[in-house]
Amino acid sequence: MTEIMTAVFLGICTVSDIRKMQIYRFLPLIFIAAASILHLVKRDLTAGDFFAGIVFGGLLLVFSWVTREAMGYGDALVVMACGAALGFMKSFSVFFLALVFSAVWSGTLLIVKKAGRKERFPFLPFLLAAQICGMFF
């Protein structure tokens, strides 16, 4: 249930990320609240795993600030929301797989000379693809 809910959330955020290269910051905050309520009712995630998932996203927020948004604040907030819904290990796995997908994509663009080193592209489609892969494997 939470995996599907997370995929729908990522799909909604992906549309915004592709169209405007920005994420409405209230969406991840609403999703964190909804995931919190769901976990309180279902008791399917330990408190430690829940908070570790949120802290992981918080560390990405710090990374965004340090790197002057090499990874955007919105992307980090979405990862934080995924951490609240999926827990630390699943959200870390999804994030790592998304990094692999984005590295393959950017490497391909560099090889075919369709983009330069400093090119920016939306990250959330890769998170969505990683979440969908994680649901099936």
Give the model's confidence band at 62: pLDDT under 50 very low, under 70 low, under 90 confident, else very high. Answer: very high
Q: Per-residue pLDDT averaged across 26-32, rounded?
A: 95
Q: Per-residue confidence at 70, pLDDT binned at 50, 70, 90? A: confident
Indicate the pLDDT class of residue 130, thresholds 50, 70 and 90: very high
- Find the DSSP H helices in 21-87: 26-42, 47-66, 73-86
Structure tokens at 94: 């999804």
| Residue 91 pLDDT grade (very low, low, confident, very high; cuts 50, 70, 90) | very high
Q: Rounded CA gap, 37 and 73, in Å? A: 24
87/81 Cα distance (integer angstroms)? 10
What is the pLDDT of the chain when averaged over all its residues?
A: 93
Residue 114 confidence (pLDDT): 81
Which of 6-10, 11-15, 28-32, 115-119 has the least mean pLDDT? 115-119
Residue bearing tokens 């290990």:
89
Q: Tell me, what's the pLDDT at 120?
A: 83
For residues 107 and 39, is the Cβ–Cβ distance under 8 A?
no
